[in-house]
Chain A
C-alpha cells in the first residue's frame, strides 16, 4: 500500500530491478541503511519507498546487501 515508485527509470535488459513486497514490508528501514540512494522510508509509516526500481550497475552490490538485510524478506531483486 505504501510502495511508490518515485522515479521509474527506463528498464534495460541488463538492469537488476528491485521489487518490494508491500504486504511483507513493515517499515524496519534497514534497507535504507544499506543503500540510502535506492530506498527511502515513506513519510507516512516508514515502509520502503524504492527510489529507483532499475538498479545502476555499480549499485547492484548494495541492492543485494539491502535485500539480504531485510528482516521481513520483503525485498527481491529480479535479474
Chain B
C-alpha cells in the first residue's frame, strides 16, 4: 500500500494523530495522499532524519518562473519565513545572523525577565481561583517574551497571540483562516513601523540589530526583514504555549507524576524533552525533491512534496521503548520535535527555558489546579501547531507576589 487519505489539516487527524501515525508507520511508512495537490508523508524516524539532513535533495524553498513557490508547509503559506524557508548556501548567511541571540548562553540571560513575566501573569489570576490556562498563562508568557526580544510593544501581546493562534488552527482557504490572515496583515504593519523606527534610532533589540546588519555587503530590504521577523514571531508565540498547555493538562491527569516533578525540579530538563516528544507541538514540516531519489525504498520524482512527520517519528517503535508512555526521565531521547539538520528550531533554548520557568512557578503557586476537561477545547486543526484554544482551570486562591514586569 502506498496511497492513503492522509490530511494533516483534517479534524480526524487532530483527534487521532497518534493512531493515524502508527498506522502509517506499520503499513505505509512513505505514503502518498491526494490532499492539497498531492504529497508524500514520511513517518519513520530514520527516513525523516535522512530527508531532513539532505538539503540538496530535499529543498525548503523554490521559486518558479510562473511566480509560484514551495516552502516548509503544505499547503504553501502566503507568508514566507526566513531562513526556515531557504536553502544553502544562502541559508547560512541568515541563520548566523540569528544564532547569537538564541544560543543557550544568550537565552539564559533572559531568565530573570521570564520569571518576572510569569509572576506577573500568575499574579493576575491567583486571587480569583479560576482562569484559562491558555489565555492567562501559556499564551502571554511566550508572546510577551517574543515581542520584547524583537523590540515590539509588549502591550500588544494579546493581538499578536490571538492572531497567531487563529492562523495556525484554521484551515487555509476557509473564512476563519482569511480573517486570521487579515489580522496578520495588521501585525505586519506594526512590524514595518518598528523597522522604520529602529532604522532611525537603534535600540538594543533584535529588530534594531537586523536593520543595521549587512548580508553580503548590503543592508536587508524591508521585505526580507519582515520574512525573518515573521519566523521569530510565529515560531515563538504559539509553539511553546502549546507545550505548556498540553503538559500541564497531562500532569493533572497523572497526579503521581505531577507530584514527582513538583518535588524534584532536577527532573525538569529531561521531562521537557519527553513532553516535547510526546506532544510534538509542531507535528511536521515540508520539503520538495530537487531530483529523482528514493526515501525508505519508495522511488520519488523531482518536484514532489514531502511532509516530514516529526510527531510520527517521535513514536517510532524502532527508536523509542514504550513510545506511548510519558517517561519523565527518558534518556536517550532522540526526539525530532525541534526538527533535525540545519533547520533545527532556532528558538529551542527559549522554548525549554520558558517551559521550565512556567511549569516550576505554576506548580509551586497553583499546586491543586484542576482542569475542566469538559470545557477544554483543543485546536480543531493541528496541521501547523498542536495546541489548545482554551483550558479552563480552578484552584485555591493565593496571594500576589508582585513582579517587576507590568504592561
Contacts and interface: CB of A to CB of B under 8 A. Distances in A.
A30 B333 CA distance: 8
Nearest to A66: B332
B273 interface: yes
Given A26-B344, A29-B104, A41-B105, A69 B331 contact: yes
B336 A30 contact: no
Interface of B: 49, 53, 96, 99-100, 102-106, 269-270, 273, 331-336, 338, 340-342, 344, 348-349
Nearest to B106: A43
Given A26-B341, A26-B342, A27-B344, A65 B332 contact: yes
Contacts of A45: 96, 99-100, 103
A72 interface: yes
A76 interface: no
Given A26-B341, A26-B344, A44-B99, A69 B334 contact: yes
A4 B106 CA distance: 19
B104 A41 contact: yes
Contacts of B102: 46
Given A26-B340, A26-B341, A27-B344, A70 B99 contact: no
Nearest to B104: A41
A29 B105 CA distance: 12
Interface residues of A: mostly helix, strand, loop or mixed? loop
Given A30-B332, A33-B273, A44-B103, 16 more contacts: A26-B344, A30-B334, A33-B331, A41-B105, A43-B103, A44-B100, A45-B99, A45-B100, A45-B103, A46-B104, A46-B349, A65-B332, A71-B49, A71-B335, A71-B340, A72-B341
B332 A28 contact: no
A60 B182 CA distance: 56
B331 A29 contact: no
Q: Which among A42, A45, A71 has the highest number of chain B CB atoms within 10 Å? A: A71
Nearest to B335: A71
Contacts of B336: 71
